[in-house]
Amino acid sequence: MRYYSVFSDETKLDINYTPSRLLHRQEQLNLLNQYLQYTTTAPGKMSQRVLVTGSIGTGKTALAQHFGKMITRKAQDRKINLEYVHVNCRQCKGSLFLILLQAIHRFIPTFPKRGYSAEELLHTLMQILDERDVHLILTLDELEALIHREGSDPLYNVTRIQEDRPSAPKRLTLICILRQPEHLEKLDPSTRSTLQRNIIHLEDYTEPQLKDILSDRVRLAFMKGAVPEQSVEHIAQVAAGEGDARYAIELLWRAGKYADSTGLREVTPECVRKAAVSVYPAIRKDVVRSFGLHEKLFLLSVARHFQRTTSAYASMGELENEYAVASEEYGEEPRGHTQLWKYVKELSALGIVEARLSGAGRRGKTTLIGLPRVPASDLGEVLEASLRED
């Protein structure tokens, strides 16, 4: 019996896929082009920094990558040597050294991975741009990871590098992406001011907008007629509470998988319901993949603790003890309190955990950790599966 699938090309639902059409973000794309049009009209004459903000799944990364493709094509038509490099700061562990190394590897893939400081790499990058007569648009995605780990100095150095070269062409343009502008409060006033001049904020998608985005992906990824309009509407309705296109697209993909697994020739509303039960916006696979090993172990400890208790919150001490057990189980040396507290802040910023000060009934003030949105059992399963893959 021949296997039938509702999908025609499920790669079009991959988290890293950038669609050729950017629906409901044309105004923001036009604004980004206005801010940075000098890169193709007067290359080398000026340098700008643009800040793109918005919640998870509002299209920040897609906007920047779409712009990158558009602007490099325009530069090629005008015989301008322009490169676009997109770096995820979280995947680079919040390290400016690794961020700059990834940018340099675009031009020199064999460049050594050791023996330089971040400051030396920054000057090396500028030297490469000069020698090759290249203008670079560098996008720093998930900028909060760099801010949390290294503070103001790295960003200050990158944004002000052109000032050390007053007579040289301006070769470096920055696009910075982060979820919440509040992260900038951790920077010193001078660094903060350089990033707040050109801001593009992306609002959450509405239900009709999500429906348009889903319909476009259905056209690209599914067999004709495999996804009825009522199923598209159902997914848009479920995802509208988050305003998150990534979540909506993952629901669509998973609903298609449920259809395939049961031999259906179309994605029914029941497939959507099954997908909605199994996918939680705060702990989707693309988010889990970006965590480091010990961040996963700590979050697994949170899940295990709440599976065994009816309490809504746990103390940091309780979770540290749980984490020590999980680390031993996986043959890892536990990280210290300071590092675990950094994990709490990052996970809190993602909306996965909640951190709050204790109130009445506890002696003294302590920080309590809660798990507000994700069932502990499901979170544990996702993390254990990810750790097995690691």
Q: Do domains 26-202 and 205-279 have the same CATH topology?
A: no
Ramachandran area for residue 133 (φ above 0: left; ψ -120 to 50: alpha; else beta):
left
Asked whether 300 and 377 are in contact (CB, 8 A), the reply is no
Would you say the C-alpha torsion 308, 313, 318, 323 has a positive or negative sign?
positive
> Is the domain covering 205-279 a CATH 1.10.8.60 domain?
yes
Name every residue whose Cβ is closer than 8 Å to that of residue 35 and which is 6 or more positions away in sequence: 48, 50, 198, 200
pTM above 0.85, yes or no: no
Helix, strand or coil for residue 191? helix
Asked whether 244 and 56 are in contact (CB, 8 A), the reply is yes
**CA distances in angstroms from 168 to 119, 130, 165, 228, listed in the order given:** 18, 9, 5, 58
pLDDT value of residue 111: 96
Q: Which CATH number fits domain 26-202: 3.40.50.300, 3.20.20.330, 1.10.10.10, 3.40.50.2300?
A: 3.40.50.300
Round to whole Å and give the CA distance between 122 and 100: 7
pLDDT value of residue 285: 62
pLDDT value of residue 62: 95
Would you say the C-alpha torsion 53, 59, 65, 66 has a positive or negative sign?
negative
pLDDT value of residue 370: 85
pLDDT value of residue 282: 52
Round to whole Å and give the CA distance between 25 and 2: 41
Asked whether 319 and 362 are in contact (CB, 8 A), the reply is no
pLDDT value of residue 274: 85
Domain spans of the chain?
A: 26-202, 205-279, 285-389
pLDDT < 70 stretches in the chain? 1-2, 280-286, 351, 358-365, 372-375
The architecture that CATH gives domain 285-389 is Orthogonal Bundle (1.10)
